[in-house]
Amino acid sequence: TRGNTYPTTALPFGMHTWTPQTGKNGDGWKYQYFKEHIRGFQQAHQCSSWTRDYAVFSFMPMTALVVDEDKREAKFSHANEIARPNYYKVQFDNQITTEISPSERGAHLRFTYPKGEKSFLVLDGYNRTSGVKIHLKENKITGWVSNGQGFRNNWKSYFVIQFDQPIKSYGTWENRNNTISADSLSAEGRGEGAYIEFQAGAKVQVKTASSYISMEQAELNLKTELGADKTLEQTKANAAAVWNKSLGKVTVEGGSKADLETFYSCFFRASLFSRKFYEVGPDGKPYYFSPYDGKIHAGYIYTDTGFWDTFRAQFPLNALIHPEMHGRYVASMIDAYKQCGW
């Protein structure tokens, strides 16, 4: 696909990325630069508009309780938007500010609401089945989504969301008819989500992480990757250090500033895929849920690469710059054949 790049905030070959969403739920055109409204900020993986995405859920900060994705969208200007590998920031015209920095399997977000205004956060379960549970005493939401193509029936992406501010009011909702259930703590079904309200004019830090294996693993991913980061600035700095090390593997001499920007922008995007699909267990060893046979296996697995095209240039590039990772990727292709027969 030519174009169709979206402002990806992620770590190199990370399991998830985070991005603003201008298109409707399920739309392959996730973010289009000419659009003037944002519908949410989502956990994403999409490598092609034609294959769509999977394991998606999204947040949308609001000053009123509006759940309908067509009605809750907020106007913004690119003049108030920053999009970098380690950090995304945008201020809506309504003065709500959203910031995001990534970890490998999660993200650190911060929502800043205008002083005196109500502070709502809507969690959208996307376009297929999902489940949510609000934990009031812990200022936390746990849940799962099962959206995407070609997965086994037992596949879910489990997530945990931790807030640093108390929850004032709450409920669940479903996005087929946009039906709100006030004071509901949990729901499961098609397009089920949640909403919460904080104190007026809040500044809220949100840490989230996901797992394809279990809720317990999602909790471990959150603790391992973001537990020590008390502020978003720490996560942002950590991500910058990772990217500087990764992109610093290639030094370019000569050329103009524009040439360097083009090269490293392309190198950055070439460093997003293949995406890790494995996780690190309590024993420190890699393991994964296989979408091919629906079982848990020890070892490594990668996904999100159109190898019918990427064998031309990205495979040779990874073999040179990331030989250990590329070896694991090739081995995981053989494992995929063993698990599903092709």
pLDDT at site 120: 98
pLDDT in tens, 76-113: 999 999 999 999 999 999 999 999 999 999 999 999 99
pLDDT at site 29: 83
pLDDT in tens, 293-303: 999 999 999 99
Domain with CATH 2.70.98.10 in the chain: 17-241
- Banded model confidence at residue 151, pLDDT cuts 50, 70, 90: confident
pLDDT at site 320: 94
- Banded model confidence at residue 191, pLDDT cuts 50, 70, 90: very high
Alpha carbon distance 258, 239 (integer Å) = 24
pLDDT at site 72: 95
- Banded model confidence at residue 3, pLDDT cuts 50, 70, 90: low
**Is the pLDDT assigned to residue 206 strictly greater than 90?**
yes
- Banded model confidence at residue 2, pLDDT cuts 50, 70, 90: low
**Is the pLDDT assigned to residue 230 strictly greater than 70?**
yes
Assign domain 17-241 to its CATH architecture: Distorted Sandwich (2.70)
Cis ω for the linkage preceding 101 (within 30 of 0):
no
